């Protein structure tokens, strides 16, 4: 896979959008996939990039990435059941194809990403009436002006907060709670040991070295997210479900490990 017409030239952090896309596509092309994602497979075919040589192939990593994306899909689907015409904001959206996996034909989708990545998304997934793209750092509250809060808001921060500094993560959650009362937010975090290794430049997948990840949070620290703002009223972990054996048997046991990646759903009070 990989070898189509669009040739991306991305810096170290924006390039991570290709890493997650690649793993979702590798998983999606399996007949027994845990996350059907034909759009991801299509995109990888249209991008001229040596995905396998750069990122390697690791079926376990791909399955875990897909199960993480499925956690976000469940939260978004629940939100769209409550708010069918709501807006899903993808912070650091990269080339996430969720808006094709769980779309209901009525929701609004707003992708927020750095200029380089947003530009690539625009080329590959051109915006339309319901799916918009804005080039903004998520640390710049300017993106919030682009959100229509009228029919409900869910903010999804999938695979992005680890690239921010801890203070920026706290400020971002506080700003979202302040600006979008009643909204939901779903985010994920790598554990602290993983963040440390990335910062030390010791995180390698084959030939690929992951960028620094200054923000790490162990799974049992999620309660701290509530201290970002008084409107953060509900903090709930979203556990991966399903998977293929033996991973399917191991995941429920892994819940007892505190130093593991986690997906967390937040709710912001109305007032």
Ligand X SMILES: C[S@@+](CC[C@H](N)C(=O)[O-])C[C@H]1O[C@@H](n2cnc3c(N)ncnc32)[C@H](O)[C@@H]1O
Give the bridge partners for 214, in sequence order.
none
Residues 27/101, Cβ–Cβ less than 8 Å: no
Quick check: 138 binds ligand X (CB under 6 A)?
yes
Q: Which is nearer to ligand X, 213 or 225 (CB)?
A: 213
Quick check: 113 binds ligand X (CB under 6 A)?
yes
CA–CA separation, 164 and 118 (whole Å): 18
**Which of 2, 159, 216, 240 contacts ligand X by CB under 6 A?**
159
CA 5 remoteness from chain centre: 25
Least Å distance between CB 11 and ligand X? 8
For the four alpha carbons of 25, 30, 33 and 36, in that order, the dihedral sign comes to: positive
Bridge pairing between strands 262-268 and 184-189: antiparallel
Instruction: From 131-139, 198-206, 215-223, 241-249, give the range in contact with ligand X by CB under 6 A.
Output: 131-139
Quick check: 114 binds ligand X (CB under 6 A)?
yes
Least Å distance between CB 10 and ligand X? 8
Q: Which is nearer to ligand X, 85 or 89 (CB)?
A: 89
Give the bridge partners for 32, in sequence order.
none
Q: Nearest CA to 96 among 62, 73, 128?
A: 73
Quick check: 17 binds ligand X (CB under 6 A)?
yes
For the four alpha carbons of 69, 72, 76 and 78, in that order, the dihedral sign comes to: positive
Least Å distance between CB 165 and ligand X? 10
Least Å distance between CB 177 and ligand X? 19
**Which of 99, 158, 177, 265 contacts ligand X by CB under 6 A?**
158
DSSP SS3 for 134 = strand
Q: Which residues sit at the interface with ligand X, rule CB under 6 A?
A: 13-14, 16-17, 20-21, 92-94, 96, 113-114, 117, 137-139, 158-160, 163
């Amino acid at each position: 896979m990989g070898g189509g017409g669009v040739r991306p030239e991305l810096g170290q952090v924006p390039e991570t959008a290709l890493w997650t896309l690649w793993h979702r596509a590798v998983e999606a092309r399996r007949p027994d996939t845990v996350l059907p994602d034909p759009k991801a497979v299509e995109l990888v075919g249209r991008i001229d990039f040596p995905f396998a040589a750069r990122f390697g192939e690791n079926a376990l990593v791909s399955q875990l990435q897909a199960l993480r994306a499925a956690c976000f899909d469940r939260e978004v689907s629940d939100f769209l059941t409550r708010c069918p015409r709501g807006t899903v904001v993808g912070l650091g959206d990269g080339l996430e194809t969720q808006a094709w996996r769980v779309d209901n034909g009525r929701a609004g989708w707003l992708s927020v990403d750095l200029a380089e990545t947003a530009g690539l998304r625009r080329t590959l997934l051109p915006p339309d009436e319901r799916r918009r793209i804005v080039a903004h750092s998520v640390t710049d509250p300017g993106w919030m002006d682009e959100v229509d809060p009228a029919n409900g808001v869910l903010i999804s921060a999938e695979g992005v907060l680890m690239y921010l500094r801890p203070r920026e993560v706290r400020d971002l959650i506080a700003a979202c709670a302040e600006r979008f009362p009643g909204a939901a937010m779903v985010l994920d975090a790598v554990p602290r040991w993983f963040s440390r290794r990335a910062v030390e430049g010791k995180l390698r997948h084959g030939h690929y070295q992951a960028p620094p990840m200054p923000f790490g949070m162990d799974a049992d620290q999620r309660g701290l997210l509530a201290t970002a703002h008084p409107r953060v009223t509900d903090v709930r972990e979203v556990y991966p479900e399903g998977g293929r054996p033996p991973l399917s048997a191991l995941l429920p046991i892994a819940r007892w490990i505190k130093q593991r990646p986690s997906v967390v759903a937040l709710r912001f009070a109305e007032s």
